[in-house]
Chain A
């Protein structure tokens, strides 16, 4: 079945560092790709999505580009802040069968030191 792989379980940075969180996917079709962010004690929040090859999604200074050839959707931010500390989830949409489902990666915990 379809799957999402996030290779970094944890990332530790200092403020103003450049961020990359890697996301690779495996899918039989042509899924939409998502990034969600989850702050402590809250549910995941939708960050952005992309649905076509080479499409860039972005929000709040974060961005990722759909790369169909590399099956990737890596999250980047040029200069992180302490307030960006959270868990980040990559996901893909699975329209197989009935209804629309999301398949999530295992998440990456980002910790940013001031």
Chain B
């Protein structure tokens, strides 16, 4: 088995601030994902990385940057936080070429 760790668990930011969320996995999975979860809207893909050194945009990439530092870690940056924004950001990973994804516990963002 393995585990996905997301830091921080809670993040409170100011409007216009640049915020970075981190994800680490010890599954030794090749592919990692970042999703945004809003109430009533399900999960929407922001960025994913098929293997180390790869980066692919999802459907919701505008306003975000991502970085795959090494096989086990994948970071997401909110480039300019929007006032009153409230969402959960979920990191996931999977074996390359396999479709089952495993999720971390999430980072809860609130922008004042």
Q: Which residues of A contact B (CB under 8 A)?
A: 9, 32, 34, 36, 41-46, 49, 89, 93, 95, 98-102, 104-107
Interface pair B97/A100, CB less than 8 Å apart: yes
Interface pair A43/B97, CB less than 8 Å apart: no
Interface pair A104/B43, CB less than 8 Å apart: yes
Q: Which residues of B contact A (CB under 8 A)?
A: 4, 31, 33, 40-45, 48, 50, 56, 58, 90, 92, 94, 97-106
Q: How far is the CA of A98 from the CA of B51 in the complex (A)?
A: 11
Q: How far is the CA of A9 from the CA of B48 in the complex (A)?
A: 28
Chain A residues with CB under 8 Å of B43's CB are 44, 89, 102, 104
- Tell me if A's interface is mostly helix, strand, loop or mixed: loop
In the complex, which of the residues B4, B33, B103, B105 contacts A41, with contact meaning CB atoms closer than 8 Å?
A: B105
Interface pair A46/B90, CB less than 8 Å apart: no
* B30 and chain A: residue at smallest CB distance: A99
Interface pair B50/A98, CB less than 8 Å apart: yes
Q: How far is the CB of A93 from chain B (nearest CB, A)?
A: 4
